[in-house]
Structure 1
Amino acid sequence: MILDRLVPPMTGEVTVAMDAPPEEVWALVSDVTRIGEFSPETFEARWTRGSTGPEVGASFKGHVKRNGVGPTYWSPCQVTACEEPRLFEFSVGTDDVTVNNWGYRIEPDGAGGSRVTEYFRLEAALPFRLYWLLLGRLRGRTNEKGMRTTLERMKQVVES
């Protein structure tokens, strides 16, 4: 398909080394109620639909201010992967439509610390592919900057 050749990958990731064991990093990334301390866009989140913590299927919503400016909105999310202490991933969207996926991979570095990767993956449905074709490079750079900021802020917490 021509669109497959025109649209660059709809993903991105940033990795930061942290001088903390995977278990400490896991406790931070899987506690969505703390994201407001770290993210430049999502300034608060709360568990919803009876969920109280990280597990596959748990629901939460994030209160977002896109690019840190403009109007705010709530994004419904659902945990899609939860493998303590190495993987935490969630989808953003409604019960019927997933817009994108975000996650954290945590790997021991062999010296008592961790390599932490935050990543996103936009869904491949046509409307999202067109969005990415038009705004992908700009949004990708914004996401990369935000992921780096988030991870660096987390690093300060787990290393202090």
Structure 2
Amino acid sequence: MRSLGGEVTLHIDATPGEVWSLVSDVTRIGEFSPETVAGRWTGGSTGPEVGATFAGKVVRNGVGPTYWSACRVTRCEPERLFEFSVGTRKVVVNNWGYRLRPSGEGTEVTEYFRLEPILPLRLYWAVLGRARGRTNEQGMRTTLQRMKAVLEG
């Protein structure tokens, strides 16, 4: 079976610290993502740390009704890795993240997603995976290019 996820990598002429401050600030995601139009910390969380919670306001495929998704930071290594799960404490649907690696005078940034390997999601991916994966990869590329424009601008 194909991998239940995908990733996109882009070089940004900015330090890992500068990139980190952008990818880990969920309140700014609406400036960059074509599908997540807003973000806010929830449950008393105020910044990136393992266990922090936030909500992302999503517009699927950039059109249609919006909805809020509950998220929890699952990995947080400043200037290296920021990952979060989407779902509830009991049922995680997918995971999104950013890996940062110093590269020359800048940073190689990889945005990725990974569905949980539970049966309903494996079936979903078997039927719609190619199309959804392509849409996610286009969205990640757009997000990273918009971040690059801000950081290099």
Q: Same fold (TM over 0.5)?
A: yes
Q: Within 5 A, what are the aligned runs for 1:77-92?
A: 77-92=71-86
How far does the alpha carbon of each residue in 1:44-101 deviate from its partner, in whole angstroms, 9 at most, with x for none?
0000000000000000000000000111110000000000011000000011100000
Point out where structure 1 has 5 or more consecutive residues left out of the alignment. 1-6
1:155 and 2:151 matched: no
Superposed displacement of residue 112, structure 1: 2.0
1:47 and 2:18 matched: no
The corresponding residue for 1:34 is: 28
* Runs of 4+ with >2 A deviation: none
1:58 and 2:52 matched: yes
Q: Considering only CA atoms, is the larger Rg found in Structure 1 or Structure 2?
A: 1
Of 18, 23, 27, the residue aligned with 1:24 is 18
The corresponding residue for 2:93 is: 99
Of 120, 127, 133, the residue aligned with 1:134 is 127
Which SS does the other structure have where 2:34 is aligned? coil
How far does the alpha carbon of each residue in 1:19-45 deviate from its partner, in whole angstroms, 9 at most, with x for none?
001000000000000000000000000
Superposed displacement of residue 10, structure 1: 0.4
Which SS does the other structure have where 1:106 is aligned? strand
Alpha-carbon distance in 2 for matches of 1:84, 1:50? 20
1:113 and 2:106 matched: yes
Identity of aligned residues (%): 71
Alpha-carbon distance in 2 for matches of 1:11, 1:69? 22
Letter in 1 for 2:127: L
Of 6, 13, 25, the residue aligned with 2:7 is 13
- TM (norm. structure 2) is 0.99
Point out where structure 2 has 5 or more consecutive residues left out of the alignment. none
**Corresponding residue pairs, total:** 153
Letter in 1 for 2:25: D
- TM (norm. structure 1) is 0.95
Which SS does the other structure have where 1:73 is aligned? strand
The corresponding residue for 1:68 is: 62
